[in-house]
Amino acid sequence: MKGSKPFGLPSKVSYSKGRGRFFQEFSVFINYYLSEGRLKTRAVLRDLNVMKNIIRRMRSWLRHLAGKEARTAWISHPLFLRHEPGVHHPEAPERIRAIETELRKQGIWNRLQKVEAGEVTDKQLALVHPRKYLRFLESMQPQKGKIYRIDDDTVMSHESLTAARYAAGAVVNAVDMVMNKRAHHAFCAVRPPGHHAQSGKAGGFCLINNIAVGVMHAIAQYRIQKIAVIDFDVHHGDGTTEIFKDDPRVLFLNSFENDLFPFPSFETVGKNPHIVNIAFPPDTGSYDFRKEIREKWLPKLTAFKPELLFLSAGFDAHKSDETSRLNLHEADYAWLSHKIIQTASMCKGRIVSVLEGGYALESLSKSVAAHVYVLAGMGKPDCAVQYDKLLNKQVTDNA
């Protein structure tokens, strides 16, 4: 009726303030009618209960959008920006800043739980690194404003070791979160990286093997007997290989460019039969990359049935990253993330992803965004939709 409020709606209820405001006020509307006793029939009350359940779910959805009760945790710490290996060093603090900026730009940031990493304990470190090695790192800490070169690539500044301890701590935190159902997945935005660090030796920008510390924490704390580690950094994960070469509890799937540091020879063979290497030649592109993953990784992952899954998430195989000569696209990381989640469904969504390499800031940030977009359960990112159409067209044209 013209000029009247529909169904006697109270004047304080408005539909013009956005979705969150709408759901809040619609709940007020339902409660108003119930409290006024205007709706008495059993059928209507039943319908109102259904409506209340819908409202409750919508509120949960809105909290999800706001980053509360999010399925994926972002674990980082300001200390990671204070690991300063030098002005021209590729493993720079700007990497994490660029990633965060891109996540905000794409609307992913508010879909994540934000968690500040804690420091790893000496006991947790000792599960991977002997005390002698840790004392060596402590003795090499330079004074403020100075750096110490362990080798040509691996550099320590005054706060590097502290940052490395918090990086390993971030992975421990991530394990605790996914195991205790406080998150489905976690992405650890850490520096310095870790997959080149062997049990008693630093190298390749890495001081502490963050992934290995997380794996051993999961085994010691939660008695997990089957863990998968997937390393898709463009450089061979020699540190992780050395640590788990004799541990059959760990499936290690490792892809890399075959002519890059650390120039793997595969001469060292341990007792662990669950190590699968894919060595890509230079100029490998999306089609061949995906084909190898489908044929060599996914069946192994399915057969192994891990209880927990770790990702050594390096993004330096992107075609724009000058540290390698592979030709991947950010959409390939979205595809890989989806395939891993899909194939490893038996681990109940327990996935811990840890930042490794990726040094061209634009491609790094876009690739991480595509990866985290999938981890956060947001579906298929636009970059993947567009690129997959192009890739399918190329395959059809070449058929």
What amino acid positions are annotated as catalytic residues? 196
Of the CA atoms within 13 Å of residue 281, those in its CB half-sphere come to 1
Q: Which residues, in sequence order, are CB contacts of 42 under 8 Å at separation 6+?
A: none
Q: Which residues, in sequence order, are CB contacts of 16 under 8 Å at separation 6+?
A: none
Q: How far apart are CA 310 and CA 297, in angstroms?
A: 14
Return contacts of 47-52, CB within 8 angstroms, 24+ apart: 52/27
DSSP H/E element including 309: strand 308-313
Buried residues in 221-241 as b, exposed as e (16+ CB within 10 A): eeebebbbbbbbbbbbbbbbb
SS3 category, 257: strand
The answer to whether 113 touches 70, Cβ cutoff 8 Å, is yes
Buried residues in 265-292 as b, exposed as e (16+ CB within 10 A): eeeeeeebebbbbbebeeebbbeebbee
Q: How many residues are given for the chain?
A: 399
SS3 category, 341: helix
Q: How far apart are CA 375 and CA 334, in angstroms?
A: 9
Our separate counts of H helices and E strands in the chain read 13, 10
Buried residues in 52-65 as b, exposed as e (16+ CB within 10 A): eeeeeebeeeeebe
Angle at 351 between CA 59 and CA 298, to 5 degrees: 125
The answer to whether 240 touches 231, Cβ cutoff 8 Å, is yes
Minimal CA–CA distance to 306: which of 254, 273, 245, 349? 349
